[in-house]
Amino acid sequence: MKSIYFALFLVIFLHANSDEILADREANIAKNLERIDSSRQELEAYRAATHTLFNQREAQILAKEKDLNKTLELISQKEENIKNMLAKNEKILAELKSITSDKVLEVYAKMKDGAAATIISELPRDEAAKVLHSLEAKKISTIFAKMDPQIAAELTQILKNDELFKETNLDK
């Protein structure tokens, strides 16, 4: 019987201890769950803050990109305007040169041969050759006839080589 009492006592003792052990384990589990829940909430708050910051930065970048695109478009428009103005100015300049050249040639064509010969003799040789090159062959021959033979020979050589006019012909 002693052994039955002892066994019964042992069972009661173990049962009382197991309730304490279970209560301790439940308390530890509850603390761990609270820490896990707290950490999860902190993580969620961190994620939300990071997401908000990311969205703000992305909005700033998009705004700067939009401003940059506007600036690039403005630069492109100005560049196009400058190209158009440059082309227009070059056309006007070419017309002015043509008009001036045509006027000069017209003056020489209408001028008396002796007067033209005197003026052309005084011009720099390349300019004189350009003027002569633009005149009719008959007019050139009568001007050469009225000119100093040495100058006429130089101009003839320049016209014969035609090097000055290769550049002129390329420009036209």
80 lies in the same domain as 144:
no
5 lies in the same domain as 75:
yes
1 lies in the same domain as 83:
yes
pTM: 0.41
Alpha-carbon gap, residue 30 to 28, rounded angstroms? 5
67 lies in the same domain as 128:
no
Q: Residue 134: name the closest of 171, 168, 167, 161 by CA.
A: 168
77 lies in the same domain as 111:
no
1 lies in the same domain as 85:
yes
pLDDT at 168: 46
Alpha-carbon gap, residue 102 to 127, rounded angstroms? 14
Q: Residue 139: name the closest of 158, 117, 160 by CA.
A: 117
106 lies in the same domain as 84:
no
What pLDDT digit, counting tens, does each position of 114-168 carry?
A: 888 888 888 888 888 888 888 888 888 888 888 888 888 888 888 888 654 555 4
> What range does the domain containing 142 cover?
102-163
Domain count, the chain: 2
Q: Residue 158: name the closest of 147, 170, 146, 166 by CA.
A: 166
For residue 104 the two structure tokens come to: 């000069």
